[in-house]
C-alpha cells in the first residue's frame, strides 16, 4: 500500500530499484529514509552566492526575488558578501547607476534590495508610459504645447508619489513636479484623449481620413473653352415624331 502512494521523484526511485532489492517493509523504510531524508540535502557553501547571475530573458524584478530567496537558503552569508554578489550578478546598467548614485552603494543588502525593488518598479512604469501608444491621437501639437496654449479646463492631476532616487532631470508642467517629462505624462494624455473625443481639439487632429479625390472628366481639360451643344429630340408617347414643334434652338425639337 505504501508503494501506491509514491509519486514524482519517489516513484522514479522505486521503479529504478533492481528486482529483489527490497526484502521487507523495514528494509523499504530504511532505504527510503536514506534516499529522501532531510540530512541528505546538499548544504551550499556561502561562496556559491557569487555564482547567482541574472539569467537570459530574466527580468531584473525576477532576479531580485530569486537572489533574495537563494541567499536566505545559504547559511553563513555575510552582509558584505551578499552586497558584492548582488552587484556582480544583477547585470542591469540602469539599476547599477541608481545604486551607485551620489552617495555610493547602500551599506546593507536589505537597503540595496529595497532600493532595487522601488527603482525597477518606477523605471518600468515610466518606461511603459513613455512608449508611444497606438491609440493616442496623432496631433499637430505635443501634450506640453496643448497644455500651455489651448484654452481647456484640465482636471487637477493626482499628486506624484515621493519615491527615492526620483529622476529630477525631468519636469512635468501638468503635475508641477519632477519625475517624468510633460510629454510622457500618462494623466495628461488621458485628459487630451477626452478632449479629442469631445471634439474640442478637432483642429489639431492629423491624418483625418477623407474620401477619394474627385475623378476629373475629360472635358475638364478644356476649362475655359465653350462647351459643346447637345441637340436632343423628345417624342410624345403614342405620337412618334408627328405633331412636334421646333424649339428656339436650331436642331432641338420638343413635343
pLDDT average per 10 residues of sequence, the chain (255 residues):
81 78 88 70 75 86 87 85 91 84 84 84 54 66 90 83 67 85 86 84 71 49 51 52 49 49
Residue 224 lies in a domain: no
50 and 24 belong to one structural domain: no
29 and 13 belong to one structural domain: yes
Residue 198: its pLDDT value, please? 80
174 and 118 belong to one structural domain: no
Q: Enumerate the β-bridge partners of residue 177.
A: 172
57 and 16 belong to one structural domain: no
Of 158, 163, 166, nearest in space to 188 by CA:
158
Residue 129: its pLDDT value, please? 47
Q: Tell me if residue 116 falls in helix, strand or coil.
A: helix
15 and 71 belong to one structural domain: no
Residue 95 lies in a domain: yes
Residue 226 lies in a domain: no
Residue 119 lies in a domain: yes
Residue 10 lies in a domain: yes
Nearest-10 crossing angle of helices 8-16, 25-36: 120
- Domain of 15? 3-40
Residue 228: its pLDDT value, please? 55
Residue 250 lies in a domain: no
53 and 109 belong to one structural domain: yes
53 and 34 belong to one structural domain: no
> What is the grid cell recorded at 108?
546593507
Q: What's the farthest any 2 CA atoms get from each other in the chain?
A: 129
Residue 161 lies in a domain: no
The domain tally of the chain equals 3
29 and 90 belong to one structural domain: no
Residue 131: its pLDDT value, please? 46
Of 92, 139, 141, nearest in space to 112 by CA:
92
Residue 190 lies in a domain: yes
Residue 165: its pLDDT value, please? 58
108 and 124 belong to one structural domain: yes
122 and 51 belong to one structural domain: yes
Amino acid at each position: 500500500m505504501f508503494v501506491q502512494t509514491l509519486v514524482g521523484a519517489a516513484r522514479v526511485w522505486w521503479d529504478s530499484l533492481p528486482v529483489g532489492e527490497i526484502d521487507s517493509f523495514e528494509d523499504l523504510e530504511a532505504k527510503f529514509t536514506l534516499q529522501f531524508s532531510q540530512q541528505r540535502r546538499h548544504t551550499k557553501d556561502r561562496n556559491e552566492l557569487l555564482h547567482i547571475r541574472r539569467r537570459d530573458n530574466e527580468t531584473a524584478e525576477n532576479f531580485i526575488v530569486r537572489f533574495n530567496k537563494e541567499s536566505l537558503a545559504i547559511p553563513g552569508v555575510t552582509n558584505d558578501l551578499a552586497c558584492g554578489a548582488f552587484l556582480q550578478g544583477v547585470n542591469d546598467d540602469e539599476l547599477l547607476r541608481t545604486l551607485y548614485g551620489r552617495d555610493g552603494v547602500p551599506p546593507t543588502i536589505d537597503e540595496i534590495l529595497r532600493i532595487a525593488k522601488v527603482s525597477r518598479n518606477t523605471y518600468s512604469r515610466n518606461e511603459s508610459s513613455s512608449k508611444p501608444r497606438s491609440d493616442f491621437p496623432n496631433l499637430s501639437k505635443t501634450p506640453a504645447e496643448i497644455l500651455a496654449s489651448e484654452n481647456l479646463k484640465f482636471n487637477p492631476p493626482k499628486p506624484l508619489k515621493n519615491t527615492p532616487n526620483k529622476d529630477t532631470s525631468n519636469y512635468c508642467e501638468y503635475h508641477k513636479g519632477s519625475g517624468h517629462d510633460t510629454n510622457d505624462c500618462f494623466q495628461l494624455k488621458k485628459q487630451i484623449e477626452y478632449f479629442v473625443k469631445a471634439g474640442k481639439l478637432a483642429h489639431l487632429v492629423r491624418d483625418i481620413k477623407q474620401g477619394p479625390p474627385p475623378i476629373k472628366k475629360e472635358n475638364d481639360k478644356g476649362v475655359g473653352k465653350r462647351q459643346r451643344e447637345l441637340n436632343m429630340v423628345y417624342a410624345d408617347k403614342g405620337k412618334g415624331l408627328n405633331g412636334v414643334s421646333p424649339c428656339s434652338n436650331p436642331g432641338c425639337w420638343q413635343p
